Chains A and B, each alone.
Chain A
């Protein structure tokens, strides 16, 4: 994989972030504005500094050097779906499915036995922690459509 100029990407990220926050600041009262204004300018200047450095002495490195990128992306996608859906579907059901699938996906062998084992482990973990948090510590989890 080709090495990327991380100063350039980082600098662009900082400049765009600073500009975005700057546009959201127009209606603030003076005392609420004073500090964010200074910080946004500093974010912007550090971004510009990185952009200048990227042209003169930029740091280059390969990004996301992993054995199995597909697995990493899959784990990230499942985790994101998990947190976005648990309010609607229900905490226990979503967690059971997500945890079971994650354990199965990360396993080496994709046999039926491993599939069942993955969901048994997920069920055990969720059962225990749900009991502790919900029944002992009284944390109200979203029940959603199911549970």
Chain B
């Protein structure tokens, strides 16, 4: 406890607080720009932290990371474009809320949920780092395979209108994820002779295309219809309280989502992109009104935003305790720690204990600062977007998507892929295919394939072949959860039918 107090004192200096405020603001702006990931934001600032003392440097980087994950919600809510893959699920209910003139409420709700989720994630980091890391270390390829299959069961919830179309979309996403070099074997697959595809299809480009371009084309086609600017933002009252209640009135959804986020963050390779969808699925599954999800239910927003910010703390667990970065931004932080002369791993808790705990405490303070910055800027952001006429908004957002998808790896082909994905996404949307399952397949495909093939090889070597997927204790737990999650929509439909029958009788 003494070390935590000492750490708190060393973080609470004017210089640190100022730099963290700047870091969070910069992170929010970066996260809100489609195509500008949290990894890029953290990576860009690392050089500026070389000359800072370790606590200040790490606190600034942690603040940027937290801000960027949170910032993704702004574009997700206001223009249906997830600023980062961590806020894919935020579009499902956030944008419908904006369409209903509740964008400000959505932003404030996301702010409360993000800050709250972030706090829970950091508390998990401070108090549970060592036991959590031990569990994460037991995850081998078969477990990763089952985690990705569990993630895919979300399709059943996302495809509310047609399960068959949801499944087809998910498989289509998995298929697209196979483009590029095979994770095992090294074959160049499905590149159609285009050399830029050897590194695979850039997920972020496809994501921007699928979510943003269809919406912009639709807005262009309906440019003369009633616009969002007709909603009078100033006349809305009690929005802040409503947002607070959305998040904390029914705390189970918020706490559960934050715990999911913390745990997914701990798993190396999994991050906010998976956590937000898993939490969304769980929130919908356990809700008494699951049919309202996807139509502007704040509970969906609370689930995605609290879980993705909780991954920030979670992803630091394997980094600080074992020296394994749990996410791409954590990998950049690994480099930053090394540059400060610190060796990520158990040594941080012995030789550099004060710096380590100061970094953890700074993440906690960053969440609180983020709450104030989010509440302070939320209304202005909503006002700005709703006041911009559609004739300027549509081209400007398209410009940002072009700029963002190019800046990911300075590749023209990524921009072409983004635009074509947008057109395909628009046609598929018109045909009743929700973009969620497609993107889910795209994200989970590489994890599922690597887990499956590596697990199969492990099984073959130990004479178990495919049995290895069904005999390990964690795998068995994951299989049970997967079966439960996949069959839940059917169980729910069956029990509703039964209830209705009982009422009629």
Residues of A within 8 A of B (CB): 6-7, 9-10, 13-14, 17-18, 21, 24-25, 27-32, 34-36, 39-40, 42-43, 46-47, 49-50, 53, 59, 61, 63-64, 66-69, 71-72, 74-76, 79-80, 82-84, 86-87, 91, 95, 98-99, 102-103, 106-108, 121-122, 125-126, 129, 133, 137, 139-142
Question: How many A-B residue pairs lie within 8 Å, measured between CB atoms?
Answer: 177
Contacts of B456 in A (CB 8 A): 34
Interface contacts beyond A10-B428, A83-B418, A125-B399: sample of 12 additional A-B pairs, CB < 8 Å, sorted by A: A7-B432, A43-B171, A50-B164, A63-B431, A64-B221, A64-B430, A71-B223, A72-B217, A75-B217, A80-B423, A103-B392, A106-B390
Given contact pairs A10-B433, A29-B185, A125-B396, A106 touches B419 in the complex (Cβ within 8 A) = no
Contacts of B168 in A (CB 8 A): 10, 14, 43, 46-47, 49-50
B402 touches A (CB below 8 Å)? yes
Contacts of A21 in B (CB 8 A): 175, 190
Q: List 18 A-B contacts (CB under 8 A).
A: A10-B433, A28-B185, A29-B182, A32-B184, A32-B187, A34-B453, A34-B456, A46-B167, A67-B222, A71-B220, A71-B223, A75-B216, A76-B217, A80-B423, A99-B396, A121-B392, A125-B399, A139-B407
B457 nearest in chain A by CB position: A31
Cβ of A41 to closest chain B Cβ, rounded Å: 9
A117 nearest in chain B by CB position: B392
Contacts of B406 in A (CB 8 A): 91, 139, 141
Docked CA distance A74–B403 (Å): 20
A114 nearest in chain B by CB position: B391
Given contact pairs A36-B175, A71-B223, A99 touches B403 in the complex (Cβ within 8 A) = no
Contacts of A126 in B (CB 8 A): 399
Residues of B within 8 A of A (CB): 44, 162, 164-165, 167-168, 171-172, 174-175, 178, 182, 184-187, 189-190, 192, 213, 216-218, 220-225, 390-392, 394-396, 398-400, 402-403, 406-407, 410, 412, 415-416, 418-419, 423, 428, 430-433, 445, 448-449, 452-453, 456-457
Given contact pairs A35-B449, A36-B189, A84-B416, A72 touches B432 in the complex (Cβ within 8 A) = no
Cβ of A52 to closest chain B Cβ, rounded Å: 10
Docked CA distance A106–B218 (Å): 12
The 10 A-B residue pairs whose C-beta atoms are closest, nearest first, are A66-B221, A72-B221, A32-B185, A32-B182, A102-B395, A46-B168, A32-B187, A106-B391, A75-B220, A31-B185
Given contact pairs A66-B222, A68-B223, A140 touches B410 in the complex (Cβ within 8 A) = yes
Partner of B187, one of A6, A28, A95: A28
Contacts of A129 in B (CB 8 A): 399-400, 403
Given contact pairs A29-B185, A50-B164, A99-B399, A10 touches B431 in the complex (Cβ within 8 A) = yes
Chain A CB within 10 Å — which of B221, B222, B456 has the most?
B221
Docked CA distance A49–B415 (Å): 33
Docked CA distance A91–B402 (Å): 10
Cβ of A28 to closest chain B Cβ, rounded Å: 5
Contacts of A39 in B (CB 8 A): 171, 174-175, 178, 445
Cβ of A139 to closest chain B Cβ, rounded Å: 5
Partner of B44, one of A31, A34, A46, A137: A137
B452 nearest in chain A by CB position: A35
Contacts of A27 in B (CB 8 A): 187
Docked CA distance A36–B230 (Å): 49
Given contact pairs A49-B164, A71-B221, A32 touches B189 in the complex (Cβ within 8 A) = yes
Contacts of B423 in A (CB 8 A): 76, 80
Docked CA distance A141–B168 (Å): 37
